[in-house]
Amino acid sequence: MNELERQARRQRRRKRRRIAIVGFIVLSLGMAWFFELQATTTVIVTRHVNEVSLGGSDPGVNQAGQERARELARVLGNIDVVVGVDAIFTEGIKRSRETIVPLSMNNDAPVHTIGHPDDPEAVVSRILRKYKGKIILVVISAEHIPSLIRKMQGSKKVPDIAADEYDNLYIVTIPWFGKVKTLRLRYGLPYQPVPEA
């Protein structure tokens, strides 16, 4: 075998190695992109904080509610070590809007108004279409929480929430593959049911 043949053979091997390396890089980037698109979506669901007792048809929050809203901001402010909450969805009612004020002041996440809270399918569809793989906070009336969680394929055993129970925080994780998990946490001052007389 002469020198020209050996040199040609080395060049072919180098070319094959380059093609293999480029192929590996393209495959790795493609897989990373695919798995990023299929990432787990985390939806945190809570109701508005404590409201004014005699606030008319659209009451705001009371002093205890303002404190609870600050506590919610503290708990969720750094929930993701990189960016925090990616988006906030809230009903258009005053007490829900006031609930998110402390969090939204320290987090530049976009705030979306839920037009029809009694249509959980539309809410879930909007979240998964626009914020797949992100962390979302949803502040919605207590009566809509169980149906919203069920629509996300979460727990079907969400207990009823009392009229004066404001400390529930539901975390629903929606993986791209596998079972949806629902966690129930509490924040702020604990709920104390009024003893029956």
Regarding predicted confidence, which is higher, 77 or 69? 69
Largest CA distance in the chain: 104
Residue 140 clears pLDDT 80, i.e. is over it: yes
Q: What is the mean pLDDT of residues 125-149?
A: 92
Beta strand ranges found along 64-180 (DSSP E): 87-91, 111-114, 135-139, 168-174
Q: How far is CA 46 from the centre of its chain?
A: 11
- CA distances to 40, 73, 115, 154 from 126, rounded to whole Å, are 16, 23, 11, 17
